[in-house]
């Protein structure tokens, strides 16, 4: 517990040790950790119903079959916990899960690259899974309940519009007119972070475009392997059209549910028409012939380079607020846990500056900036943008081996690269012009390949 010399003895009304803006996985975990250690915490969230999932999410646990950000996440259903043994903490989750056993990526012509042997893995049950999907609403509700039990002051339906330094601390202003003061604040307001924008953090970040997606939760699909992650490249081009199908952790009226979505990097595109093309007219349309739509959902996100130094004016940036695309739930939880822990130590030591939270800044550099190269995400778009459908079909047809069962989004391209090295001699013999093309664009910077995507996107580097 914080000693009797805690900063909160001299605090006034609406003043706290810590303000957390955003009640997603990162924000709730940060608030929980801080409150467990005796800090007074204000948790501010834009949504009125914090556990309600409005934004489309794959809801995958990344990952239960390998390491992610140096951690080996485990699910202990009997104890109702997700555990992070390397970092030494756990978070509650006693909701439903559903295992999936492979990740299949398809070319426009239907050729498949498989990460994991679906038949062999599924025969092994939990021991053979690539990972599992979970119910994010249940997860957030569990964390929120723990926060409330620990005395966190929760302010739902409050939209943060400004954050600034005030004395030795920080002041947070909401659209309702409410003001909050604290020694530190943690910005955990997601991928399109308003706090990062108004504090000028986006001015030094590379901008690479906006990703928009729509989808439906559907039942009665006819998938070749129902409990796998399917990712069809429906159509190459600039921009390309990518599909995504993942099981849900729950059933609807006794039937399995899948999230089916289409993703595009041109926000002006008619995404509903693209979804219809994918599900009704593409090579993959037979999967959806008898499908029934249950709920529509969507999301939009900006692709920036990550925030290299996630601290300014006593504000720490956690989770997706400082990521290139998404930290995944597990990455966000780890980031929130470390940010909250760092603030606890800072207050215990009476260091109300960036030196007090140095442990978090070092962790961010070591586990995020140095370990995860954001260019890996961006280069995933190179092949569908620069190659034609027929060329991609040929490349996929050459990789006949089943690749290792992996889900780490940074490890998947690495395994693909290893497989490509093995087939280069054959491509050189059969399609030397294609190999020359592949070799040429592999060294191109994202600014060149994604120039059309960048022009079409919304760059929120302004501060007002």
Q: Please classify residue 417 by burial: count the beta carbons closer than 10 Å to its beta carbon, then call 0-12 exposed, 13-18 middle and 19+ buried.
A: exposed
Q: How many CA atoms lie within 13 A of 146 on its CB side?
A: 22
Domains by residue range for the chain, with CATH:
7-59+136-205+307-369 (3.50.50.60), 97-134+207-304+374-459 (3.30.9.10)
Cross-strand pairs, 151: none
Candidates 168, 1, 140; CA nearest to 57 is 140
Q: What is the model's pLDDT at position 6?
A: 43
Q: What is the model's pLDDT at position 464?
A: 61
Which residues, 6+ apart, have CB-to-CB distance to 89 below 8 Å? Answer: 33, 83, 337
Which residues, 6+ apart, have CB-to-CB distance to 442 below 8 Å? Answer: 382
Which residues, 6+ apart, have CB-to-CB distance to 11 below 8 Å? Answer: 17, 40, 181
Helix boundaries (H) for 50-89: none
Q: Please classify residue 40 by burial: count the beta carbons closer than 10 Å to its beta carbon, then call 0-12 exposed, 13-18 middle and 19+ buried.
A: buried
Lookup: tokens for 437? 């093309």
pTM exceeds 0.75, yes or no? yes
Q: What b-and-e string marks burial along 7-26, b requiring 16 or more CB atoms within 10 Å of the CB?
A: bbeebeebbbbbbbbbbbbb
pLDDT in 10s for each residue of the chain, 464 residues: 444 434 443 344 589 999 999 999 999 999 999 999 999 999 999 999 999 998 999 999 999 999 999 999 999 999 999 999 999 999 999 999 999 999 999 999 999 999 999 999 999 999 999 999 999 999 999 999 999 999 999 999 999 999 999 999 999 999 999 999 999 999 999 999 999 999 999 999 999 999 999 999 999 999 999 999 999 999 999 999 999 999 999 999 999 999 999 999 999 999 999 999 999 999 999 999 999 999 999 999 999 999 999 999 999 999 999 999 888 999 999 999 999 999 999 999 999 999 999 999 999 999 999 999 999 889 999 999 999 999 999 999 999 999 999 999 889 999 999 999 999 999 999 999 999 999 998 889 999 999 999 999 988 776 66
Q: What is the model's pLDDT at position 13?
A: 56
Q: Give residue for tokens 């003001």.
A: 179
Per-residue pLDDT of 398-439, as tens digits, reads 999 999 999 998 899 999 999 999 999 999 999 999 999 999
Candidates 176, 169, 165, 175; CA nearest to 200 is 165
């Amino acid at each position: 517990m914080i000693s009797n010399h805690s900063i909160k003895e001299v605090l006034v009304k609406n003043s706290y040790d810590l303000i957390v803006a955003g009640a997603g996985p990162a924000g709730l975990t940060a608030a929980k950790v801080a409150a467990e250690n005796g800090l007074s915490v204000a948790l501010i969230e834009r949504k009125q119903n914090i556990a309600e999932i409005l934004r489309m999410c794959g809801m995958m646990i990344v990952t239960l079959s390998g390491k992610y950000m140096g951690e080996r996440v485990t699910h202990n259903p009997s104890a109702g916990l997700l555990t992070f043994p390397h970092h030494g903490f756990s978070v509650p989750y006693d909701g439903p899960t559903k295992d999936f056993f492979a990740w299949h990526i398809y070319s426009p012509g239907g050729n498949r690259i498989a990460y994991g042997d679906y038949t062999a893995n599924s025969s092994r049950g939990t021991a053979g899974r690539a990972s599992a999907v979970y119910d994010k609403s249940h997860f957030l509700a569990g964390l929120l309940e723990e926060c409330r039990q620990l005395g966190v002051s929760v302010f739902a339906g409050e939209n943060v519009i400004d954050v600034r330094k005030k004395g030795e601390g920080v002041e947070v202003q909401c659209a309702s007119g409410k003001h909050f003061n604290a020694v530190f604040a943690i910005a955990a307001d997601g991928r399109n972070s308003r706090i990062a924008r108004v504090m000028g953090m986006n001015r030094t970040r590379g901008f690479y475009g906006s990703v928009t997606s729509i989808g439906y939760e559907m039942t009665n699909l006819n998938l070749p392997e129902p409990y796998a992650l399917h990712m069809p490249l429906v159509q190459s081009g600039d921009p390309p059209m990518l599909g995504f199908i993942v099981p849900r952790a729950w059933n609807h009226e006794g039937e399995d549910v899948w999230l089916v979505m289409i993703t595009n990097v041109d926000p002006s595109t008619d995404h509903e028409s693209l979804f219809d093309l994918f599900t009704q007219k593409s090579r993959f349309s037979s999967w959806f012939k008898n499908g029934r739509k249950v709920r529509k959902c969507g999301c939009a996100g900006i692709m920036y380079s990550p925030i290299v130094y996630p601290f300014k004016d006593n504000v720490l940036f956690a989770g997706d607020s400082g990521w290139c695309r998404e930290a995944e739930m597990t990455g966000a939880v780890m980031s929130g846990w470390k940010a909250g822990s760092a603030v606890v130590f800072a207050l215990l030591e009476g260091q109300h500056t960036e030196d007090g939270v140095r442990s978090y800044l070092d962790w961010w550099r070591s586990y995020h900036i140095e370990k995860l190269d954001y260019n890996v995400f961006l280069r995933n778009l190179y092949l569908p943008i620069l190659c034609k459908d027929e060329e991609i079909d040929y490349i996929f047809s050459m990789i006949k081996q089943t690749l290792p069962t992996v889900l780490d989004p940074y490890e998947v391209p690495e395994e693909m690269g290893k497989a490509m090295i093995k087939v280069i001699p054959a491509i050189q013999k059969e399609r030397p012009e294609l190999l020359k093309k592949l070799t040429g664009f592999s060294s191109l910077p994202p600014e060149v390949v994604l120039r059309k995507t960048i022009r079409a996107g919304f760059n929120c580097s302004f501060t007002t």
